[in-house]
Amino acid sequence: MLRRLRKDTRGVAFIEFALSLPLLMILMTGGIEMGNLVLIKIRTERLARTLSDMVARESGTLDGMSERELNDVLFAAVRNNPGLSLDKDGRIVVTAVLGVDANNDGVPERNAIQWQRFVGKYTAAPVAVGCWKTTTAAELPRARQLVANEPIYHVQVTQKYQPLLVVLFDAMKVPTEVTDSAMFRGRGSNFRPLMTSLNEPVHDKCDTPDGI
């Protein structure tokens, strides 16, 4: 019986499959996770460009943009983006920046934040251009300096991804915070501030979940 058992190889393939199954599952799940991250990256980048372009166009009109109009745009962006959970795990920051020439010598000294609005509960997302409640100086990408009275509308979209394989992400040091930003120049020649709207909340706090 022992001799027959030693020569019996009918279960070898099954044992090899059982031993390799955990590795195959990790590879398959890891591939799905990476695909999800790529999709989130595409969606956040597209949303940042769309919002920045829209705010720049609307703010450049003769009447400018009102607080209510901006709130409608931002909350529609939060609720109508499948694949993103911006309401609870994300943050959208819209910043209006203006080039300032304080001494009128034709050379702008700094980029000044004119207003800033927030939506989304992920307050851990760092504000790329700076929080205007603590500083009025804006840090634009590639250290860009605006010309005097040049308006720029910068939009930052951050999504915190919740992976299925947390251990794998930690071991590979894969970042789970996806951030993209875009900025467009105001369409009008002059900067127009946001118009106040009656009974409309102002979401301008960078450290609170609702911005109020």
- Residues 168-180 have pLDDT tens digits of 677 667 778 899 9
- Residues 49-64 have pLDDT tens digits of 999 999 999 887 777 8
Arithmetic mean of pLDDT, 58-86: 88
**Whole-angstrom Cα distance, residue 11 to residue 195?**
76
Per cent of the chain over pLDDT 90 is: 44
pLDDT confidence of 14, banded at 50, 70, 90? Answer: low
Parallel, antiparallel or unpaired: strands 90-100 and 110-119: antiparallel
Per cent of the chain over pLDDT 70 is: 86
Arithmetic mean of pLDDT, 23-40: 78
Question: Is the model more confident about 90 or about 34?
Answer: 90
**What are the residue ranges spanned by the domains of the chain?**
8-185
pLDDT value at position 12? 61
Q: Please, what is the average pLDDT of the chain?
A: 85
In this prediction the pTM is: 0.84
- Residues 131-169 have pLDDT tens digits of 988 888 999 988 899 988 889 999 999 999 887 777 667
pLDDT value at position 153? 95
